[in-house]
Chains A and B, each alone.
Chain A
Amino acid sequence: MAALVTALAACGGDPATTEGTASGGGGNTIKVGLLHSLSGTMAISEVTVRDAELLAIEEINKAGGVLGKQLEPVVEDGASDWPTFAEKANKLIAQDKVATVFGGWTSASRKAMLPVFEKRKALLWYPVQYEGLESSPYIFYTGATTNQQIIPGLDYLKEQGKKKIFLVGSDYVFPRTANKIIKAYAAANGMEILGEEYTPLGHTEYSTLTNKVVQAKPDAVFNTLNGDSNVAFFKQLKSAGVTAESMPVLSVSVAEEEVTGIGIDNIVGHPVAWNYYQTTENPANTKFVEAFKAKYGAAKVTSDPMEAGYNSVYLWAEAVKKAGTVEVEAVKKAAGGIALERPEGLVTIDGETQHMYKTARIGIIQPDGLIKEVWNSGEPIKPDPFLKTYPWAGGLAS
């Protein structure tokens, strides 16, 4: 895979422009790239992140732009296809000469783009929670890493007295890595893992899996399913008689955006782990939710990855202002330590890992489809993508 991506990177652009990265356009605008899946299976999630990023660009432009220049978004479609992400990233950097790129959702798309950004020394802002164990010098990770979402989720289950856990996930890198961490945590915290099941992405037949879960009688299920599988899983779990009271299912990839599609009836009362909810109370969020609804329609909801995408643009703009240039190395240097009040609360860039300090929040899905916070970590958690500060996690990073 890496070889393929490198090959694409090597033949994708005009070789003469290879060194000319991040000029961002010489005129009165600064070009920025937005690279998400606007078609294919991931479009369901990624389109909304692009919308949130466009909103941030519009707001920044209204307030006078960055360094006296207006931001000009260049939107590309990754088409839910990982080599396409690499190819389009290459195009944005080499041909459009964007100052930075905001993009990606799945870990597979990030891993496909990573070598392109490292080779061309360009910047990517990646807005989705992920499995950790990565720290590229050319990526800023604005979603949660594992110690800001999965571990707090486990802390919450432990607090609730849930000792027997069943793991259900989609069959790819994020759920498998997440479950490795969960098993190590469980071993160190006296929890028992009753089963660990994976289904292919896009799987829709969950009757057998439901039977296995019901027979194992766990206290709770830890759900790392992604995409449309969540709809089938929750519908079939509900019709088998499983409720949030009898067996709570904690999800880490179900946000406000997905709840209606799953059917509120089918998921009401189940817990989720994120860093942001539409209902999170602070002035920055009120403003964000109002602006988003005004631009895209009153029925729209805001979710954690959308908020992280929205933040990415602001954090980059702040770093550019501090650096006084869009030049990548200067922006990277300036970014460390930048702290902004965002809809989720205070977000600080950790210069060392290029991850964010974020507050972990556990929420319960309400009958109106929104998520109500029931627990939070109290303060922003320092990002620890390699889980170096957790003694039980030794050996996971290798």
Chain B
Amino acid sequence: MEGFLNQLPIGLSIGAVLLLIALGLTFTFGQMGVINMAHGEFIMAGAYTAFLLQDLAGRSAVLVALPVAFVVAGLMGLVLERAAIRHFYGRPLDTLLLTWGVSLVLQQLARDLFGAPNVQVLSPTWLQGAIGPMPYNRLFILALAVGSVVAIWLYMNRSAQGRRMQAVMQNRQLAATSGINTGRVDQRTFFIGSGLAGIAGVALTLIGPVGPTLGTYYIVDAFLVVVAGGLGQLRGAVIAAAALGLLNSYAEFWTNASLAKVIVFAAIIAFLQFRPQGLFVLRSRALT
């Protein structure tokens, strides 16, 4: 019984990890329609940022790394958008292949820079310990996920930039005729989306491996959350991440990890049969 009850907070914490890795994608994939296979490598860049900052900040590197990783991964995203992706807007398959190639290049780059083996990122001493089944580092990730969602919501709904972003997302042509520089908005959206991946990468150093292939472990889950939640829908992503986390937690508790993966995939496929657009649908009168 205790094991059963423990799975509840565990499921929420799995959901928090899912949400964190998917948040950036709700921008780049959800809002801009770019299937960015290199999203996982931006997560990796965030993790390596924490690794590098250890020399300066010691065990508290994780905290210092959060803003730095946001900027580092964000700039990588910006460069990718300016140099390549903007030439492929409206051509999802080409973008998919392009960004997949970029992800392979970035993985090999990490291997050349940091070596093939995983590196060590020490977690802060104040994150060691647990309340019941919830380790402090999991609570930290949960708090970080909640904090990120609140910050994004405020940005999207309370700032002029955020509202312009929503306008472009809902109706690009109309936004452009209203005088919004859509190219500039695209850059900013991609910067923020990629930067959020960097933040996820820092958080993941607390619980997972830090190596060149880190991104590949999370990319599929990230897309699942965005697809199930509905493209570009923040609350959809939040609900989908929590639901998938809980489903994963209990499915694995009653069966095993391999079967749990199957159950989660099957559930998502079944769900998409009823709601192909995901949980929430963006209503727009744009002629696309």
Contacts and interface: CB of A to CB of B under 8 A. Distances in A.
Contacts of B261: 200
Given A44-B116, A209-B252, A263-B122, A197 B211 contact: no
B207 to A, nearest CB: 6
The range of chain B's interface size is: 35 or more
Contacts of A199: 256-258
Contact of B118 (A209, A239, A241, A258): A258
Contact of A240 (B130, B209, B217, B257): B130
B37 interface: no
Chain A interface SS verdict (over half)? helix
Interface residues of A, number: 38
A167 to B, nearest CB: 12
A40 B116 CA distance: 10
A192 interface: no
Contacts of B207: 204, 232, 235-236, 239
B108 interface: yes
Given A44-B116, A207-B13, A211-B10, A171 B213 contact: no
Given A235-B207, A236-B207, A228 B213 contact: yes
Given A208-B7, A239-B138, A261-B210, A44 B117 contact: yes
Nearest to A196: B256
B55 interface: no
A231 B138 contact: no
Interface in B189-223: 206-214, 216-218
Contacts of A41: 213, 216
A235 B131 CA distance: 17
A258 B115 CA distance: 13
30 contacts: A39-B111, A43-B212, A48-B117, A171-B257, A197-B256, A198-B257, A199-B256, A199-B257, A200-B261, A205-B248, A207-B138, A208-B7, A208-B14, A208-B252, A211-B6, A211-B7, A211-B253, A212-B253, A215-B3, A228-B118, A228-B217, A231-B210, A235-B123, A235-B206, A235-B208, A236-B135, A239-B123, A240-B130, A240-B133, A262-B118
Given A228-B211, A241-B130, 17 more contacts: A41-B213, A44-B116, A200-B258, A202-B217, A204-B208, A204-B218, A207-B133, A208-B249, A208-B252, A208-B260, A211-B253, A231-B118, A231-B210, A235-B208, A239-B135, A258-B117, A262-B118
